[in-house]
Amino acid sequence: MIVKTILAAMLAALSLSSNAQTATFKSFSYKGNDTRFNKSIDNSKQFYNPILAGFYPDPSICRVGDTFYLVNSSFSFYPGVPLSTSKDLVNWKPLGHVLDRKSQLPLTHQRISGGIFAPAISYNQKNKTFYMITTNVGAGNFFVKTKDPSKGWSEPIYLPKVNGIDPSFFFDKNGQGYIVHNAPVDGGADYEGQRAIRIFKFDVNGDSIIGNHTQIVRGGTHVQKNPIWIEGPHLFRVGKYYYLMCAEGGTCDWHSEVIFRATNPMGPWIECPNNPILTQRTGLDPKRPDIVTSTGHADIVQSKSGDWWAVFLGCRPYQDDFYNTGRDTYLLPVTWKNGWPEILEKGKAVPTVLSKTDWQKKYNVADVNHMTGNFTYTDNFKDGTLDNRWIFLRNPSDFYKFTDGGLEINAKAVNISQPESPSAIFVRQQHNTFTAETELTFNPSDEHQLAGLVLLQNEEYNFVFGKTMRDGKSVVTLKRSERTNVTVASATLDNSESQQPLRLKVEGDGRYYSFYYAAGNGAWKLLASGVDAVNLSTHQSGGFIGACIGLYATLSNK
């Protein structure tokens, strides 16, 4: 009898220990409610900007037949380089990710704003092949290719001669390939922030660079004295002219897009007299409605109907230069004047609602668009797969599985502040005003074990909101990190509450967030209201991502 009692106690302790290392998330719900999207529009005739809302920066686009393909930067999230498709440039559907294997995307120990910078997608009509070229900050510049983006991409082919960032392909009518990219200035920079654009010829048959680089732009344009950060170059051809379009001025509120042209890709290049062809940096009312700032890093595409369009990044600040949603992707028609393209007239604000052209009106998209506008979704984790919206930080291990109760996450001894891959899966915060909610079952046995939600900007700027132990009792805790961790609030769960599933909810409204919890089917209880979430803004934290919301479990809560 004594042996049976001891065995039962051992099994109970083992069960508790096992449960303590595992958190089961029954569901996750998200709802966006931004004022800018609460307009009455006719979806058959109009569309919203941005076209991809929340942390979809550095867009690059190409068209094959009647289908457009769009890629964005992913930094140290995995899988990498989200790929979206559209028939009308307005309604976009995720087609997965270009880089979906560790062999394509090594991210070990990279900082959150490291990893993949500025991917560029191109199609070579001569050999019927798609190319995606990019920079992995921790591994170098490389490209992958495929005949069919829906069937996966090749292993990476590295380009050690590309010394810099933001490479982009161009394939001429005769099939000749070129690579342009941001680079150090030949002979050294004359001032801080001065960069150059280089060009290489590319051997399509050998998948290799031919010869050495030619510097084709030094410093940038003459819009301002000592222009900085000429980058994100894209080369294309219209008639007898080649055009080189680049971002300039850095990624903050002085961002812009400029353009040059030449009769030969190797130059000489002439600057557009109307540069910049896109910016929101001057001449606008700072209190204008639906403000968009920091526009630039554009790419350009022509539809089958012959009209031209530009995709570019921009930001939606809720106050000053503070925005938690990161950099979105926007769409505007391109106007040609005297042989030069113009994306937006100087002194004109980026519009939130635009009219469709006749050819765009022909596409009747019945599906709910979870890329822009106000929308709601719920993931119940019942079909055994994660939606394309879910991403991981760095290269993940097999820390999760699907069960009858939901998504089971096995906690690791890694926390969100470490340069490792935590037990967490993330979605983007796509609205300034939003609600995120989850329900989880978790039985911690000590203060180091925690499961719940994480709101992430980077390793030092984040929120951790979840269930843990303190002084032998289960508690709900909220920690805010802005270089240092500070416990904002906590609440002790009674014995009945601690045995029930826990619901957690975050309500964000611009700069300030409120946090709620509930045990089982009980009423919501306010843990903390009006908490300053400016630490999730890029302006405050640095870096390049938008805030992400994660389902998170750890054995190393600090």
**Catalytic residue chosen out of the listed positions 34, 88, 166, 231:** 231
Work out the end-to-end distance of the chain between its first and last CA atoms, rounded to an integer number of angstroms: 42
d(CA 204, CA 213): 17
Nearest to 438 by CA among 470, 487, 390: 390
Does the CA dihedral 202-207-208-210 come out positive or negative? Answer: negative
Is 459 one of the catalytic residues?
no
- How many helical (H) and strand (E) elements, i.e. helices and strands, does the chain have? 4, 39
**What DSSP element (H or E) covers 393?**
strand 392-393
DSSP category for residue 231: E
In the sheet that holds 60-64, the strands lie side by side as 60-64, 67-71, 80-86, 93-99
285 is catalytic: no
Exactly one of 34, 58, 166, 420 is catalytic; which is it?
58
Residue 330 contacts residue 314 (beta carbons within 8 Å) = yes
Side-chain-side CA neighbours of 56 within 13 Å: the count stands at: 30
| Residue 517 phi, psi (nearest 5) | -145, 160
Give the other-Cβ count within 10 Å of 515's Cβ: 21
Token couple for 21: 């290392």
Q: Which two tokens stand for residue 431?
A: 């609205």
Q: Six-digit token pair at 335? A: 């106007």
Residue 210 backbone phi and psi in degrees, to 5 = -100, 120
Beta bridge partners of 112: none
The CA distances from residue 454 to 76, 289, 423, 511, 555, in Å, are 17, 31, 11, 17, 14
398 Cβ contact partners less than 8 Å away, ≥ 6 residues apart = none
Extended beta strands in 293-375, E state: 293-302, 308-315, 327-337, 340-342, 353-355
List of residues 6+ apart from 539 with CB closer than 8 A: 252, 320, 321, 322, 323
Tell me the residue length of the chain.
558
Q: Which residues are catalytic?
A: 58, 231
